[in-house]
């Protein structure tokens, strides 16, 4: 793994491989909004999960998935870039 240089020139911790494609990162931001705003996709009671109607557990699933996608997008957009890189 490549290491990220620190301000003093010493190598830092190994960098994690996050997506750097801006379109993919934008999709991480857009997916939760579209998935929850398209109500006809999940406006129903079946299938139920442990007795909970689909309408509720679908929204709960996106409430748990959304922060993960936001963290990926945040880390990808705020990744330090090499000087002179396009």
Is residue 25 within 8 A of residue 73, CB to CB? The reply is yes
pTM of full prediction above 0.85: no
What are the sequence ranges of the domains in the chain?
29-78
Nearest to 26 by CA among 79, 82, 76, 86: 76
For 14-62, what is each residue's pLDDT tens digit? 555 555 677 888 888 898 888 888 888 877 778 878 888 888 888 888 9
Residue 47: predicted pLDDT: 85
């Amino acid at each position: 793994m490549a290491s990220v240089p620190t301000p003093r020139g010493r190598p830092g911790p190994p960098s994690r491989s996050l997506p750097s494609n801006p379109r993919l990162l934008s999709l991480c931001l857009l997916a939760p909004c579209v998935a929850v705003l398209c109500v006809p996709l999940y406006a129903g009671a079946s299938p139920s999960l442990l007795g909970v109607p689909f309408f509720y557990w679908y929204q709960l699933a996106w409430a748990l998935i959304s922060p993960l996608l936001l963290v990926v997008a945040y880390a990808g957009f705020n990744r330090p870039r090499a000087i002179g890189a396009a």
